């Protein structure tokens, strides 16, 4: 099963509904392993003997445990090359790998917008990694969720069904039961989940637009995604709709004036870095985007100016359409003021978005800033 955790933003296409519970067992804590040396095994070197008895672990890993003091022989820390003899009592205390630390519960002040027995809606701050991965095995949203609701350890990825980039702020939904997780994943796959974003981009955008371009790994830089003119091996269809809320021909007070636009984006699909890649592909990279942007902003911003401000879906428990809205985070609100962008327009976008039926009307489970 491909792990959707490989995707950095909203890429749900890799989910395998039949395998939703495949990795739940990884959340269990490893227990000490107690072994005894048989008569015919006496005289063997400890590391080789362990490799024979504990074939489920690699020799490199077993050796590392011995060197770190996690293996004892008769109550004393062991040495890699020491011999074992009949009757020796060997205790192995498995250490977590970096990957396994993803399932460690960590206290965290979670910005919860709504919670019941089936779902949690989180207003993720910029800077918080959603799902553990290379370089970020701890301190993630998943670690915080496991502390907040320990039963999530029984669910794949602690109930997380979609993601936001580390430096993208805004609303996310998390399932609390396997049934709810399956329902939300199916809604994502059916493209019925409503996700709207606010973005500040370079240049002056047209009133409305739709970007329909497959996304895949860049052929020049494998760390980046890219938009392609047509589908090709390794790409997936991707559609982004945008509506211009405000135009600023130049950034007031800046030493190097550049035009910027405030746009509302609506995802039809959810691919890795979709909005960032799509807007860059039409000549309007996100303000502050170090990966896809251009070094031309006279007023540096430490992250991409992207905020998931509205989220709507069918509640897995009640079957009712619910909607949630998020206010601008402080850093974006300050950027709006510096660039003379109307905060009021952003607030209005959270209530109504041209070209789409309103599913975010206040009601049961709704949240307004």
Q: Which of 165, 167, 289, 353 is catalytic?
A: 165
* Biggest CA-to-CA distance, the chain: 84
State the pLDDT at residue 58. 81
Task: Evaluate if residue 164 carries a pLDDT over 80.
Answer: yes
Order across the sheet with 33-36: list the strands: 33-36, 89-92, 71-73, 76-77
State the pLDDT at residue 13. 38
Task: Evaluate if residue 139 carries a pLDDT over 70.
Answer: yes
Identify the helix (H) or strand (E) that includes residue 141: helix 141-148
Rank 8-12, 23-27, 177-181 by mean pLDDT and report only the highest. Answer: 177-181
Contacts with 322 (C-beta within 8 Å, 6 or more apart), sequence order? 312, 313, 314, 315, 363, 364, 365, 366
Place 56 in a pLDDT band, splitting at 50, 70 and 90.
confident
Contact, 5 vs 157, CB < 8 A? yes
Place 298 in a pLDDT band, splitting at 50, 70 and 90.
low
Task: Evaluate if residue 311 carries a pLDDT over 70.
Answer: yes
| Nearest by Cα to 111 from 127, 98, 123 | 123
Mean pLDDT of the chain: 83
State the pLDDT at residue 8. 38
Give the model confidence (pLDDT) of 26-54 as tens digits.
333 458 999 999 999 999 999 999 999 99
Task: Evaluate if residue 366 carries a pLDDT over 70.
Answer: no
Tell me the β-bridge partners of 236.
215
Query: pTM for this one?
Result: 0.72
Q: How far apart are CA 325 and CA 306, in angstroms?
A: 15
Helix (H, G, I), strand (E, B) or coil at 341: coil
The answer to whether residue 22 is catalytic is: no
> Percent of the chain at pLDDT above 90?
61
Which of 89-93, 99-103, 301-305, 339-343 is the least confident region?
A: 99-103
Q: How far apart are CA 96 and CA 31, in angstroms?
A: 11
Contacts with 208 (C-beta within 8 Å, 6 or more apart), sequence order? 241, 242, 243, 244, 354, 355
What do you get for the CA distance between the two ends of the chain, in Å? Answer: 39
Helix (H, G, I), strand (E, B) or coil at 349: helix
């Amino acid at each position: 099963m491909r792990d959707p955790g490989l995707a950095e933003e909203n890429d749900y296409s890799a989910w395998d509904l039949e395998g939703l519970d495949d990795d739940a067992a990884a959340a269990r804590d490893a227990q000490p392993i107690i072994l005894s040396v048989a008569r015919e095994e006496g005289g063997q070197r400890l590391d080789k003997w362990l490799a024979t008895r504990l074939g489920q672990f690699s020799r490199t890993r077993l050796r590392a445990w011995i060197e770190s003091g996690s293996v004892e022989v008769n109550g004393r820390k062991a040495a890699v090359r020491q011999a074992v003899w009949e009757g020796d009592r060997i205790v192995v205390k498995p250490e977590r790998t970096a990957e396994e630390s993803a399932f460690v519960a960590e206290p965290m002040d979670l910005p919860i917008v709504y919670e019941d027995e089936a779902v949690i809606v989180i207003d993720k701050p910029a800077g918080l990694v959603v799902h553990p991965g290379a370089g970020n095995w701890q301190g993630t949203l998943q670690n915080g969720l496991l502390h907040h609701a320990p039963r999530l350890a029984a669910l794949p990825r602690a109930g997380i069904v979609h993601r936001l980039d580390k430096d993208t702020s805004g609303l996310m939904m998390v399932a609390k039961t396997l049934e709810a997780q399956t329902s939300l994943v199916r809604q994502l796959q059916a493209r019925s989940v409503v996700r709207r974003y606010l973005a500040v981009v370079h240049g002056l955008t047209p009133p409305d637009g739709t970007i329909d371009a497959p996304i895949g790994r860049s052929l020049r830089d494998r760390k980046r995604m890219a938009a392609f003119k047509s589908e090709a091996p390794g790409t997936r269809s991707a559609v982004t709709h945008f509506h211009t809320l405000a135009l600023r021909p130049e950034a007031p007070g800046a030493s190097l004036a550049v035009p910027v636009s405030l746009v509302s984006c609506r995802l039809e699909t959810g691919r890795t870095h979709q909005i960032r890649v799509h807007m860059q592909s039409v000549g309007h990279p996100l303000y502050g985007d170090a990966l896809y942007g251009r070094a031309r902003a006279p007023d540096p911003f430490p992250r991409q100016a992207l905020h998931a401000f509205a989220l709507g879906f069918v509640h897995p428990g009640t079957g009712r359409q619910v909607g949630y809205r998020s206010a601008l985070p402080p850093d974006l609100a300050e950027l709006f003021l510096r660039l003379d962008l109307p905060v009021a327009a952003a607030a209005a976008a959270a209530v109504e978005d041209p070209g789409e039926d309103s599913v975010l009307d206040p009601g049961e489970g709704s949240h307004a800033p």
